[in-house]
Amino acid sequence: MLSRLTAAITSVLALACFAAAPANAQQVRVETALDHSVLQANQKQTAYLRTALTGFDLPGERGRAPLNVAIVIDKSGSMQGTKIEQAKAAARAALAQLRDDDIVAIVAYDDTVEVLVPATKASDRASIERGIARLSAGGMTALFGGVVKGATEVRKFMTRDRVNRVVLLSDGAANVGPASASELGQLGRSLRKEGIAVTTIGLGLGYNEDLMVQLAQASGGQHVFIEHERQLAQVFKEGFGNLASIVAKEVVVKIRLAEGLRPVKVLGRAAESIDIVGQEVTVQMPALYARQLDDLVLELEVRPLPPQNLQVATVDVSYHNVATNAADKVSMALRAEFTDDRERWSRSEVPAVRVAVLERVANEQSRQAIELRDQGRVEEAKRLMQDNAKTLHEGASKYGSDTLDKLSKEYDFDADNLEGEQWNRQRKVIQRRNVQSPYQLEQNNF
């Protein structure tokens, strides 16, 4: 109860056009801004509102939340050989990253599901090792059952103060049980509702990235693409390390717009996590890692309004603070001036927001390009990617953004690899990039 009280609701009314909650050491930092700090009066216009969240620093290893993780490993026939051996090595690497009070379960599936290690304290390393050693490949792919059983193990010791996760490693498509991307997305959503996120790790070039991406995204987890199994152990090591640095979970951003502003869409995020009702937008965000940034960009339609200083939006960010193990809420209001001075408007551009907008628009187009490519309209997809690269390149030089420059090059590369033997690999790269913020792409977040 005390923690609830200490989780003071902070509200800051920004005088100008930029709002930021005070950077409390134990609180998520929230910044919100429009792409222009000043809006045009008496003019219908499109504006973008960016809300950026930054995870706070954890007070050392002791301070982090205990993990409650089920590692679900595909042991179907395609995993035979080095893949399964590497998967074992990865599981061992993960185990090495765990603290004694963490909980881990290991589930393997082929046609059916086996619980190799039921949810166990990580201190019982010997029996976990024995479970890992039992892993051997052969059979079909009951991915749905595997994930559900993984979640069942997580559920056994699920408490809010833990980071509750299923980490799924698969190199193939699901073929036993519900196996479509939308069904796995539905599974992800219901797990998310329970507070369990699924991190999906696609191994090699044979897995179904749509399905893995959907599952991860809908559950609020991450998707990782590993091209070669020899990278597995390293990725697991990093991933489990990052998992331990989660500072906020069940993050929900609620934006309420003033009259005269209409929410159009949230750029570059899964539709399932967004709910737009009237003037209110609710977005469910994935967990937030220490010192890491995540943001969302909302496109607005602004009706012609007279010159004035208006509170355009209130932003509420609620989350479960892992460090304090309490519900936290950060609220703020954003004001903007409406002016007839066009010159002033154009000078008021906020580069950080513009960069985010460009990058998200590119992301949206990249999704479209994938759809076109899937329909076999390769040339159109290519043009879209090239346009993307061009726009981003211009943005990069205009705002001096390394991020955009890097992205521009990536889209160029995509445009050249929409066909041929590289396509399969490239599609996985693009799909992953499409659902993850550029900040997270840098890390192997689990």
Partner 1 sequence: MNANARLGLLLSAMVVVPLVAVGFVGWRLVGDQEALARHSVESGFGERLKSLDQAVQTIVRGYERDLARYAAELPRTTDPQALREALGRQPRTSLALVLDRKGRLVFPPLVAGIVSQRELAFLERTRPVWEGGLLESAALLGALDGKASGPDRGWIAYFFGGGQHFLWWFADGRRVVALEVSGIDLMTELVSQLPETPVAGEDTSDERTVLADATGRIVYQWGSRAPAANERPKATVGMSEPLESWTLRHFAAESTLPGAIAGTLRTALVAGLAGLGLALGAGAWLIWRARTRESRLAAQRVSFVNQVSHELKTPLTSIRMYADLLKSAHEDAELDEAEPAARHLAVITRESDRLSRLIKNVLTFARGQENRLAIARREVVADDIVTATLATHGPALAQARIAVETDLAAKASIALDPDAVEQILSNLLSNVEKYARTGGWVKVTTRVLAGPVRLVMRVQDRGPGIPTAQREQVFEPFWRASDRLSDGVTGTGIGLDIARRLARLHGGDLAVVDSEGSDGQAVAGATFELVVLAEPGPKDAS
Q: Residues in the site for partner 1, rule: CB under 8 A?
A: 107, 111-116, 131, 134, 136, 139, 142, 144-145, 148-149, 151-152, 155, 176-178, 180, 182-183, 186-187, 190-191, 193-194, 271, 275-278
The nearer residue to partner 1, 10 or 112, going by C-beta atoms, is 112
Both tokens of residue 68?
Answer: 């409650």
Q: Which is nearer to partner 1, 155 or 409 (CB)?
A: 155
How far, in Å, CA of 331 to CA of 333, rounded?
Answer: 7
CB neighbour list of residue 337: distance below 8 Å, 6 or more residues apart = 16, 17, 37, 38, 39, 307, 308, 309, 310
Question: Residue 52 and residue 265: Cα distance in Å, rounded?
Answer: 17
Closer CB to partner 1, residue 179 or residue 378?
A: 179
State the nearest-atom distance from the C-beta of 368 to partner 1, in Å.
Answer: 19
Nearer to partner 1, 187 or 315 (CB): 187
Minimum distance of partner 1 from residue 148's CB (angstroms): 4
**Inter-residue contact 378 to 419 (CB < 8 Å):** yes
Return all residues near 412 (Cβ < 8 A) that are at least 6 apart. Answer: 385, 386, 389
CA atoms of 177 and 158, how far apart (whole Å): 25
By beta-carbon proximity to partner 1, the closer residue of 25 and 277 is: 277
Q: How far is the CB of 408 from partner 1 (least distance, A)?
A: 32
CA–CA separation, 79 vs 171, rounded Å?
7
Least distance from partner 1 to the Cβ atom of residue 9, Å: 18
CB of 438 to partner 1, least distance (A): 26
Contact 285, 250 (CB under 8 A): no
From the CB of 296, what's the least distance to partner 1, in Å?
16
8 A C-beta contact, residue 256 and residue 314? yes
The residue (of 107 and 168) whose beta carbon lies closer to partner 1 is 107
Rounded distance between C-alpha atoms, residue 77 and residue 128, angstroms: 23
Instruction: State the minimum distance, in angstroms, from the CB of residue 350 to partner 1.
Output: 28
b/e sequence 401-436, b meaning 16+ C-beta within 10 Å: bebbbebbebbbebbebbeeeebeebbbbbbbbbbb
Question: Could you tell me the maximum CA-CA distance found in the chain, to the nearest angstrom?
Answer: 72
Q: Which is nearer to partner 1, 20 or 158 (CB)?
A: 158
Residue 5: how many CB atoms within 10 A of its CB? 8
Give me the least distance between CB of 114 and partner 1, in Å please.
Answer: 5
Q: Considering the complex, what minimum distance in angstroms separates the CB of residue 324 from partner 1?
A: 22
How far apart CA 298 and CA 360 sit, in angstroms, is: 10
**Residue (37 or 200) nearer to partner 1, CB:** 200
Complex with partner 1: residue 145 or 286, whichever CB lies closer = 145
| Residue closest to 244 by CA, chosen among 71, 425, 102 | 102
For partner 1, which is the closer residue by CB, 249 or 373? Answer: 249
CB of 432 to partner 1, least distance (A): 24
Q: Output 59 or 77, the one with its CB closest to partner 1.
A: 77
C-beta atoms surrounding 194 within 10 Å: 13
Report whether 97 contacts 244 (CB < 8 A): yes
Q: Which residue has the tokens 């890390």?
A: 443
Cα–Cα dist 115/150, whole Å: 8
DSSP-based three-state secondary structure for 255: strand
C-beta neighbour count of 301 within 10 angstroms: 14
Task: Please state the closest distance from residue 338 (CB atom) to partner 1, in A.
Answer: 23
